[in-house]
A and B are shown apart, each in its own frame.
Chain A
Amino acid sequence: MSQLTLTIVKIGFLALLWLFVLSAISVMRSDLFGTRVVQRVVSTRASKGSSRPATTSSRSRREGSRRRGKAVPHQLVVTAGPLAGTAVTLSEAPVVIGRAPECTLVLDDSYTSSRHARLRPTEDGTWTVEDLGSTNGTYLGPTKVSSPTVVPVGEPIRIGKTVLELRR
């Protein structure tokens, strides 16, 4: 083996090693750009004693929802509570919300029941919310949910100390 061959092998291997590193990073990069960034709202977190986590921002969004109430939602976003900022992409499957680990959205909120509420899609693309017999109840806007109710986009759903809403 000549010295030249070995030097070429040496440089070549280092180049290959870095090529691997860079291709791993480029896979991550395309992963990064394939991600939607959800800007969390400026949430006014109420203190522990207060039981009114409805925020100014969710109220303003409720007004906005009247304009686009029939829109098809694609995301369920937690706007207040311990999991604020978490988003679940919606599909055909119903979403069960609660504290039990087998729920679709597991809330870490001591005011929720283990299986608290369920969101279910209807034929025309809207979603309904129903309470699964929770202790503290499920609220859609100001009203307590007693039967499956259609949820307009942007309407706050309150479960324990957590507030969720559907987004397009």
Chain B
Amino acid sequence: MTTVATLTPPTLTPQGGRRRRGIELIMLGFAIVLTLAAYSAVQMGVLGRYPTDLPVVTAYLVACAGVAHLAVRRLAPYADPVILPVAFALNGLGLVLIHRLDLAARAGLGSLLPSGDAGRQMIWTALSILLFVAVLGVVRDHRLLQRYTYTAMVLGLVLLLLPMLPVIGTQVNGARIWIHLGPLSFQPGEIAKVVLMVFFAGYLVAKREVLTLASRRVLGVDLPRARDLGPILVAWAASVLILVGQSDLGTSLLFFGGFVAVLYVATERLSWILIGMVLFVAGSWFAVITFAHVAERFQIWLHPFRYAENQSYQLVQGLYGFAAGGILGRGLGRGMPELVPYAKTDFIVATIGEELGLTGLMAVLVLYLVLAERGLRSALGVRDTFGKLLAAGLTFSLALQVFVVVGGVTRLIPLTGLTTPFLSYGGSSLVTNYVLIALLLRISDAARRPAPTATPATPATVAITGDAPTQAVRT
């Protein structure tokens, strides 16, 4: 056996003792100011007058932000100061944009949109904040989640498969991703995203040593052994099953992409990404030649203007929106984003592109980049492998979702029906993303906590531990 000398990169150690909750509060205040400014601009742009209910809106935003901030201050005092304000700003901007589309519908500008969604989204925001606090309160240490690795697997699969059940699952606009329980409707695939990430992280902590073994080196890439391909093939098969059973390209892509990303982080082997890409391309090709609706999506992507009047109407209207927006945008409340079908959910990015222009859209994308950077930073800083994998996986799934949505709307990749995190109208998505943020804050709290939280032992005590006989030692 040979000994290999490696030069490993430097590690970042978070500086101890800096809670930075004050900065978080200031940034939250800034996020509220930003939301109020957007709200005023919308009212002035659409209705031509100054907003009259600013105090009410302010009170609502301050209450939401205040509860979230106090919860972080109490429950995760060392957590990252940027994550929550950035998420809150995106959420606030989303509320304003939904309100703006509501106004357009009420003005009767030939709209396809139902009204009053901003109010419902405000209720969902309040519920999300409460759930955010609950997650921070219940999950006092992210390592507790590792115990529920296989429970998370079962729960995640059940959630993914729920919409395929005959009675509660319903098909909306071609995709079978909804469940209806009485008046409530929910997309269980959204919350499955977070639950399955807990499983992926816990599973790969246990199995990564096996998956790191290489059999052969081909073109500078260490290929894994054939018999270790099992997990990635199972994940691939499951995502193909979602694609076929639910006609949901987005969730399928997110599920498989998330698994491959965590696998790569766990094993540091580039070959897993290559294998994942080969499997992905094979799966996509298979789907395109086998299923008519996937083939249609593909055709729309390649030739949008050929079908501009029917199948690709939405995509083409979105592209016109971007064109109308230009560099600086039309100004909030002054474009015509309501011409795009489903502007509140799938195509909210097109609304941003039209009214805030390239400048505004870039700002929003940089905010997502900031979230992703903070998440990966927490993954680097935290000391246990499970936390690293979980933080990296959650962050990656958020970033991948943004990529898939924005890429689909801007015609970089074929369009898939995913929500834009925090911005889009939709309760399940908002709730899930706040849970995701709560877990990231929990992990970043562990990463930045300076003092090791060991139980202070009194000098004369003797530690009795489980698996090994303990030498009685007095100090």
Assembled-state Cα–Cα distance A25/B206 (Å): 36
Contacts known (A106-B384, A114-B467); A6 close to B5, Cβ less than 8 A? no
Asked if B310 lies at the interface with its beta carbon under 8 angstroms from chain A, I say no
Asked if A143 lies at the interface with its beta carbon under 8 angstroms from chain B, I say no
Report the minimal beta-carbon distance from A90 to chain B, rounded to whole angstroms: 8
Q: Is the CB of B44 within 8 A of A47?
A: no
Partner of B465 from the list A7, A92, A115, A148 (CB cut-off 8 Å) is A115
Total interface residues in chain A, CB < 8 Å? 73
Task: Give residues 1-60 of B contacting A (CB, 8 Å).
Answer: 1-16, 18, 20, 23, 27, 30-31, 33-34, 37-38, 40-41, 44-45, 48-49
- Which of chain A's residues have a CB closer than 8 A to the CB of B30? 20, 23
Contacts known (A17-B360, A85-B11); A132 close to B44, Cβ less than 8 A? no
Q: Is the CB of B4 within 8 A of A45?
A: yes
Report the minimal beta-carbon distance from B97 to chain A, rounded to whole angstroms: 12
Report the minimal beta-carbon distance from B27 to chain A, rounded to whole angstroms: 7
Asked if A113 lies at the interface with its beta carbon under 8 angstroms from chain B, I say yes
- Which of chain A's residues have a CB closer than 8 A to the CB of B473? 130, 147-148
Q: Is the CB of A49 within 8 A of B1?
A: yes
Q: Is the CB of A9 within 8 A of B370?
A: no
Asked if A126 lies at the interface with its beta carbon under 8 angstroms from chain B, I say no
Asked if A28 lies at the interface with its beta carbon under 8 angstroms from chain B, I say yes
Q: Is the CB of B470 within 8 A of A132?
A: yes
Q: Is the CB of A27 within 8 A of B331?
A: no
Asked if B466 lies at the interface with its beta carbon under 8 angstroms from chain A, I say yes
Q: Is the CB of A14 within 8 A of B328?
A: yes
Q: Is the CB of A47 within 8 A of B1?
A: yes
Binary A-proximity of B446-471 (CB < 8 A = 1, otherwise 0): 00001111101100000101111111
Q: Is the CB of A35 within 8 A of B15?
A: yes
- Which of chain B's residues have a CB closer than 8 A to the CB of A6? 44-45, 331, 334
Report the minimal beta-carbon distance from A160 to chain B, rounded to whole angstroms: 13
Task: Give residues 1-46 of A contacting B (CB, 8 Å).
Answer: 1, 5-7, 9-14, 16-18, 20-21, 23-25, 27-28, 31, 34-40, 42-46
Assembled-state Cα–Cα distance A144/B337 (Å): 73
- Which of chain B's residues have a CB closer than 8 A to the CB of A25? 366, 370
A interface: dominant SS = mixed
Q: Is the CB of A40 within 8 A of B8?
A: yes
Q: Is the CB of B452 within 8 A of A24?
A: no
Partner of A40 from the list B9, B31, B356, B374 (CB cut-off 8 Å) is B9
- Which of chain A's residues have a CB closer than 8 A to the CB of B86? 24
- Which of chain B's residues have a CB closer than 8 A to the CB of A101? 143, 146, 384, 386
Asked if B273 lies at the interface with its beta carbon under 8 angstroms from chain A, I say no
- Which of chain B's residues have a CB closer than 8 A to the CB of A16? 33-34, 37
Asked if B414 lies at the interface with its beta carbon under 8 angstroms from chain A, I say no
Asked if B363 lies at the interface with its beta carbon under 8 angstroms from chain A, I say yes
- Which of chain A's residues have a CB closer than 8 A to the CB of B363? 14, 17-18, 20-21
Report the minimal beta-carbon distance from B123 to chain A, rounded to whole angstroms: 25
Q: Is the CB of A23 within 8 A of B463?
A: no
A49-B1, A132-B463 known, 10 other contacts, Cβ within 8 Å: A10-B329, A18-B359, A24-B86, A40-B11, A45-B4, A46-B3, A92-B451, A93-B451, A113-B465, A135-B468
**Sampled A-B contacts (7; CB under 8 Å):** A17-B356, A17-B363, A27-B27, A36-B15, A86-B11, A105-B452, A108-B205
